């Protein structure tokens, strides 16, 4: 029998970026807030100190900061005609466990989506005609616009001390920035990072062929910074251990380095770690969430009532918990009915490696979001007429790391082992770099999340089942991006290049990105979405669901900036509207 | 704080007490663990002196591998990364010891992996579907490769073949051309190659990459954490020698 605990005003399920944001906002509004985190406490000095964090084996290859499939994983198949099998090891994406979530081990590549990204269906239909979107493509408008989110993007960038160069301030194009970005109200709070050699060469080559490269917006600090909450971050030291690692230098924006030192000291905030929420409980007419049930590490079960429940876990866990709790109608790919689990999407990446004879690039001098980018081929920044696809992505020369287990580029045709491989590694390690494409994935009728009929997690709950593959739209788009990247690579006039296009089915094995999206999407009506434009559940008005699970499809940028802007936008709606008049903020 | 060196990751192992032995789907019971749910309120729960340093592999012989398995691995990793004029190979850098300690620890037991059934072969895109842990995979794989070698090369086990024959066998494993008993050749080869490269390039504290020789060979400066002075020095070779998490051998006080 679960022990019933006293009611709190607001309950956060999961304590990464969105949990920290909502905790800060809702405690500011005077609520008593409790956060439940399934993993443990983590802090810089204890868990990622500079005396040991530069450990490629421990943190990446042995996954110390990541979710353990032994506890929770999902099953996967490319299509409904296959039997889904469990993802036994992490690979393609790396969800976290513990306080700070994936906000600890992200690279810090921080973007705003394009204004047209929020209008995927209406914008593309208007520009290219209804035929541009085939029946099998289930893309939707978000129900929220870039202009709605701009003030929240701005707040977020200042909270995190993003280093970058504005490309568009209030409609005025700024030289040296991204000319394609939506208008921003002001510049980034910090100047761009200092560029290493590789991205500098890339930018020159891109300029040579008429493109407009700009420094990537980075959550690695280009200088010491004190954020609006008074929390201080130190300057990045370019150590090259960012993504998959915590920052030992307080130089990467994370919940720990931006919000938690303030939030955790508040009287009206409590965090419980190692508490796994197993169910959200509704009242008898299923219109109101009354409590969650959670289990602690001793196996004790508790019922925690709350007036307001916020799901702020990773995208996959938010959707899994809704499915396990029976909240909403699961999506059926055969009929297209139901919304929960619908429009799961991802990203599609490819690369072109560049090998020099004469240039020492020192790949190890890097940072997670250190790089130069071109955005000519992202979203709808270019004319898609007759290309046979919608969407796009950026092309970047990131200089994230030279960690040698992971990063040892070798030319095309090199064997994978033996003396020839070794020679190629030795000759090319210092003199090679990779140009990356980072492409959108549209939502498609057959790509979705539901509960697995067979496999169970450590608590005996059904695993979530992912059914996903890249479609023709994504392959055409990615091939187009790879082609453009090859043009830039050729302009570098290096000894040789190696193109790594994305071919074939989606494969859950190699690391790609942790940019999973969809499954509990937002939209303008309950027939097509789980959440309204404020991330409020259509059916259960005291339940809000944060995270990229709300994205109706995925854009060609890293999602964290948009996840955070949506969380701040939602928090504002809760504070200014919901708390005054609890109930649905949008009438269906 | 006492930590075992196995797996190089003791805090994790501590957390693993929570889930160890829980075959997914098999049980609703939670094991008892030393880690407790914690309530944090009105403070940052930072504790001085709690830095979670890894414990380095020290001597003391092999912990998991048998004598024959050591010989087998010495031979195999020598072909995957051979010793030549460019620098030492995997055997010289202690990769066999590295693999031994990995297999003896949490990793070898697949503690983080989902190991619940039912078991299916799956498609190439569904990833690892063997019911074997890495430790089991090596034990069975080494035996199976030796059996394959004996049948193909007149009764000789892998370690007794010449280098060219060993390369041929490894190539047959890599491409799935060798049919092994009980085990998928490609799965075993993939595991072996990954662990060999890990041991070769990982921090020396895990038993491989002895004296940071692999880092010196390619020019990786190791566990440094501040390159600010050198960011703008485009095209110049980085002048300082590598450093590992536990420094360099000449830093250790003698006697």
What are the angstrom distances between the C-alpha of B141 and each of A556, B134, B136, B193? 43, 10, 8, 13
A419 near B CB under 8 A: yes
Q: Which of A70, A238, A423 sits opposite B86 (nearest CB)?
A: A423
Within-domain flag for A587: no
Examine the pLDDT at B36 and tell me if it is beyond 70.
no
User: Based on the structure, what is the number of domains in chain A?
Assistant: 1
Instruction: Find the mean pLDDT for residues B77-98.
Output: 98
β partners of residue B87: B84
A307 near B CB under 8 A: no
Separation of alpha carbons A430 and A330, rounded Å: 51
CB contact under 8 A, A429 and B218: yes
Separation of alpha carbons A498 and B249, rounded Å: 39
Examine the pLDDT at B178 and tell me if it is beyond 70.
yes
* Distance in Å, alpha carbon of B76 to nearest chain A alpha carbon: 10
Q: Are A448 and A467 in contact (CB under 8 A)?
A: yes
A298 near B CB under 8 A: yes
Q: Which of B118, B123, B223 sits opposite A54 (nearest CB)?
A: B223
* Distance in Å, alpha carbon of A397 to nearest chain B alpha carbon: 15
Separation of alpha carbons A322 and A330, rounded Å: 9
| Token pair belonging to A51 | 């005396």
Separation of alpha carbons B196 and A421, rounded Å: 13
Nearest alpha-carbon partner for B21 in B152, B111, B150: B111
Separation of alpha carbons A80 and A465, rounded Å: 11
- pLDDT score recorded for residue B252: 74
- pLDDT score recorded for residue B35: 56
Nearest alpha-carbon partner for B125 in A5, A221, A507: A507
- pLDDT score recorded for residue B251: 83
Q: Are A413 and A419 in contact (CB under 8 A)?
A: no
| Cα–Cα–Cα angle for A322, A516, A541, rounded to 5 degrees | 30
| Token pair belonging to A429 | 């390690």
Surface of A (29-58) touching B: CB under 8 A: 40-41, 43, 45-47, 49-58
A359 near B CB under 8 A: yes
Examine the pLDDT at B140 and tell me if it is beyond 80.
yes
Q: How confident is the model at residue B255 (pLDDT cuts 50, 70, 90)?
A: low
Residue A397 is part of which domain span? 3-90+97-166+174-580
A460 near B CB under 8 A: yes
CB contact under 8 A, A50 and B225: yes
CATH number of the domain bearing residue A238: 3.50.50.60
| Cα–Cα–Cα angle for B188, B191, B196, rounded to 5 degrees | 125
Residues of A in contact with B122 (CB under 8 A): 85
Instruction: Identify the weakest region by mean pLDDT among A398-402, B49-53, B98-102.
Output: B49-53
Helix axes B185-201 and B163-174, enclosed angle (nearest 10)? 120
Q: Are A513 and A109 in contact (CB under 8 A)?
A: no
CA atoms A147, A151, A154, A156: torsion sign: negative
Residues of A in contact with B27 (CB under 8 A): 460
Q: How big is the A-B interface in CB pairs under 8 Å?
A: 287
Catalytic residue among A320, A384, A444, A515: A515
- pLDDT score recorded for residue B3: 33
- pLDDT score recorded for residue A264: 97
Q: How confident is the model at residue B250 (pLDDT cuts 50, 70, 90)?
A: confident
CB contact under 8 A, B36 and A298: yes
The SS3 call for residue A257 is helix
Would you mind telling me the total number of residues written for chain A in this entry? 588
Instruction: Find the mean pLDDT for residues B117-130.
Output: 96
Nearest alpha-carbon partner for A205 in A362, A397, A353: A397
Q: Hey, where are the domains in chain B?
A: 67-218
The DSSP-derived string for A28-68 is HTT--EEEE-SS----HHHHS-TTT---HIIIIIT-TTB--
Residues of B in contact with A200 (CB under 8 A): 234
Told to judge if A515 belongs to the known catalytic residues of this protein, a careful annotator would answer yes
Examine the pLDDT at B10 and tell me if it is beyond 50.
no
Within-domain flag for A585: no
| Token pair belonging to A172 | 């005025």
CB contact under 8 A, A297 and B201: no
Nearest alpha-carbon partner for A398 in A376, A432, A359, A370: A370
- pLDDT score recorded for residue B58: 86
Q: For chain A, how are helix, strand and coil distributed in percent, rounded to 5?
A: 25, 25, 55
Separation of alpha carbons A270 and A261, rounded Å: 13
Within-domain flag for A245: yes
> Which of A409, A419, A455 would you mutate first to test chain B, the one with the most B CBs within 10 A?
A419
Ranges of chain A whose pLDDT falls below 70: none
Nearest alpha-carbon partner for A515 in A276, A304, A349: A349
In this prediction the pTM is 0.95
Question: How many helices (H) and strands (E) in chain B?
Answer: 7, 1
A551 near B CB under 8 A: no
Q: Are A322 and A330 in contact (CB under 8 A)?
A: no
pLDDT in tens, A39-70: 999 999 999 999 999 999 999 999 999 999 99
Within-domain flag for A565: yes
Nearest alpha-carbon partner for B126 in A501, A318, A465: A465
* Distance in Å, alpha carbon of B4 to nearest chain A alpha carbon: 14
Within-domain flag for A70: yes
| Token pair belonging to A42 | 């983590």
Instruction: Find the closest chain A residue to B171 by CA distance.
Output: A417
- pLDDT score recorded for residue A100: 98
Cis peptide before B118 (omega within 30 of 0): yes
Pick B44 or A167 by higher pLDDT.
Answer: A167
**C-alpha A299 chain-centroid distance:** 32
Residues of B in contact with A507 (CB under 8 A): 124-125, 127
Would you mind telling me the total number of residues written for chain B in this entry? 255
Nearest alpha-carbon partner for A542 in A327, A339, A344: A327
Examine the pLDDT at B108 and tell me if it is beyond 90.
yes
Separation of alpha carbons A522 and A142, rounded Å: 6
β partners of residue A536: A544
Separation of alpha carbons A59 and A55, rounded Å: 6
Separation of alpha carbons A317 and A12, rounded Å: 13
Separation of alpha carbons A2 and A293, rounded Å: 8
* Distance in Å, alpha carbon of A299 to nearest chain B alpha carbon: 5
What are the angstrom distances between the C-alpha of A546 and each of A10, A187, A475, A549, A562? 14, 27, 30, 7, 11
Q: Which H or E run contains A307?
A: strand A301-311
User: Residues A47, A53, A56, A60: what is their CA dihedral angle, to the nearest 10 degrees?
Assistant: 30
Round the CA-based radius of gyration of chain B to a whole number and report it.
21
- pLDDT score recorded for residue B44: 86
A208 near B CB under 8 A: no
* Distance in Å, alpha carbon of B60 to nearest chain A alpha carbon: 22
Q: Are A344 and A516 in contact (CB under 8 A)?
A: yes
Residues of A in contact with B192 (CB under 8 A): none
Q: Residue B123: how many CB atoms within 10 A of its CB?
A: 17
- pLDDT score recorded for residue B15: 37
Looking at every residue in chain A, the average pLDDT score rounds to: 97
> Which of B25, B171, B238 would you mutate first to test chain A, the one with the most A CBs within 10 A?
B25
A86 near B CB under 8 A: yes
CB contact under 8 A, B218 and A272: no
């Amino acid at each position: 029998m679960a022990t019933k605990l006293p009611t709190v005003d607001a309950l956060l399920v999961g304590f990464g970026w969105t949990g920290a944001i909502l905790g800060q906002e809702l405690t500011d509004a005077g609520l008593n807030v409790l956060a439940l985190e399934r993993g443990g406490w983590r802090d810089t000095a204890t868990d990622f100190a500079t005396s040991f964090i530069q450990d490629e084996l421990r943190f990446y290859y042995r996954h110390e900061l990541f979710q353990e499939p032994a506890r929770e994983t999902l099953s996967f198949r490319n299509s409904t005609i296959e039997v889904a099998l469990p993802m036994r090891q992490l690979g393609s994406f790396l969800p976290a466990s513990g306080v700070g979530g994936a906000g600890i081990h992200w690279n810090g590549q921080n973007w705003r989506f394009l204004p047209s990204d929020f209008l995927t269906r209406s914008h593309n239909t208007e520009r290219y005609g209804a035929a541009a979107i085939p029946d099998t493509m289930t893309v939707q408008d978000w129900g929220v616009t870039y202009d709605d989110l701009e003030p929240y993007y701005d707040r977020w960038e200042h909270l995190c001390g993003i280093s970058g160069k504005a490309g568009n301030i209030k409609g005025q194009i700024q030289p040296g920035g991204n000319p394609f970005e939506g208008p921003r109200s002001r510049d980034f709070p910090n100047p761009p990072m200092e560029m290493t050699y590789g991205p500098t060469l890339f930018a020159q080559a891109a300029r040579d062929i008429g493109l407009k490269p700009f420094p990537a917006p980075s959550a690695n600090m280009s200088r010491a910074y004190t954020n609006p909450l008074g929390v201080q971050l130190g300057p990045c030291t370019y150590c090259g251990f960012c993504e998959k690692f915590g920052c030992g230098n307080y130089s990467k924006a994370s919940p720990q380095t931006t919000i938690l030192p303030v939030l955790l000291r508040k009287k009206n905030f409590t965090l419980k770690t190692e508490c796994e929420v197993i169910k959200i409980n509704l009242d008898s007419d299923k219109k109101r969430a009354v409590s969650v049930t959670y289990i602690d590490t001793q196996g004790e079960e508790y019922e925690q009532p709350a007036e307001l429940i916020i799901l702020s876990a990773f995208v996959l866990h938010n959707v899994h918990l809704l499915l396990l709790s029976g909240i909403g109608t699961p999506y059926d790919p055969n009929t297209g009915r139901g919304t929960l689990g619908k429009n799961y999407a991802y990203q599609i990446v490819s690369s072109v490696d560049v090998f020099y004879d004469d240039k020492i690039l020192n790949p190890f001098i890097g940072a997670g979001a250190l790089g130069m980018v071109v955005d000519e081929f992202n979203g709808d920044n270019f004319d898609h007429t007759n290309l046979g696809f919608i969407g796009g992505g950026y092309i970047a020369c990131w200089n994230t790391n030279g960690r040698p287990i992971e990063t040892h580029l070798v030319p095309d045709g090199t064997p994978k082992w033996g003396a020839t491989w070794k020679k190629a590694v030795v000759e090319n390690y210092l003199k090679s770099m990779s140009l990356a494409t980072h492409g959108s994935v549209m939502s498609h009728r057959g790509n979705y999340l539901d509960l697995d009929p067979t496999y169970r997690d450590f608590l005996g709950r059904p695993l979530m089942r992912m059914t996903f593959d890249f479609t023709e739209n994504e392959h055409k788009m990615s091939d187009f991006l790879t082609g453009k990247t090859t043009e830039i690579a050729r302009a570098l006039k290096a000894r040789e290049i190696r193109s790594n296009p994305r071919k074939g089915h989606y494969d859950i094995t190699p690391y790609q990105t942790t940019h999973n999206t969809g499954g509990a999407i937002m939209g303008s009506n309950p027939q097509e979405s789980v959440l309204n434009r404020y991330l409020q559940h259509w059916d259960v008005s005291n339940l809000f669901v944060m995270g990229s699970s709300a994205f109706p499809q995925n854009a060609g940028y890293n999602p964290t900036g948009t996840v955070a802007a949506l969380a701040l936008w939602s928090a504002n709606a809760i504070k200014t509207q919901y708390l005054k008049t609890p109930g649905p903020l949008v009438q269906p | 704080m006492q930590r075992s060196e196995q797996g190089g990751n003791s805090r994790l192992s501590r957390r693993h007490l929570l889930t160890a032995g829980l075959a997914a789907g098999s049980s609703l019971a939670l094991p008892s663990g030393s880690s407790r749910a914690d309530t944090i309120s009105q403070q940052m729960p930072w504790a001085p002196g709690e830095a979670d340093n890894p414990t380095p592999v020290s001597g003391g012989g092999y912990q998991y591998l048998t004598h024959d398995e050591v010989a087998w691995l010495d031979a195999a990793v020598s072909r995957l990364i051979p010793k030549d004029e460019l620098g030492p190979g995997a055997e010289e850098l202690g990769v066999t010891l590295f693999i031994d300690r990995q297999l003896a620890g949490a990793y070898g037991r697949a503690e983080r992996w989902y190991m619940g059934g039912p078991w299916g072969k799956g498609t190439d895109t569904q990833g690892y579907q063997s019911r074997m842990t890495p430790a089991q995979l090596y034990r069975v794989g080494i035996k199976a490769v030796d059996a394959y070698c004996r049948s193909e090369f007149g009764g000789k086990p892998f370690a007794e073949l010449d280098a060219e024959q060993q390369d041929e066998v490894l190539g047959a494993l890599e491409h799935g051309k060798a049919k092994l008993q009980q085990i998928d050749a490609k799965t075993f080869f993939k595991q072996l190659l990954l662990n060999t490269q890990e041991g070769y390039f990982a921090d020396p504290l895990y038993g491989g990459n002895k004296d940071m020789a692999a880092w010196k060979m390619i020019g990786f400066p190791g566990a440094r954490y501040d390159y600010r002075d050198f960011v703008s020095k485009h095209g110049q070779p980085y002048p300082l020698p590598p450093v590992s998490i536990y420094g360099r051998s000449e830093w250790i006080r003698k006697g």
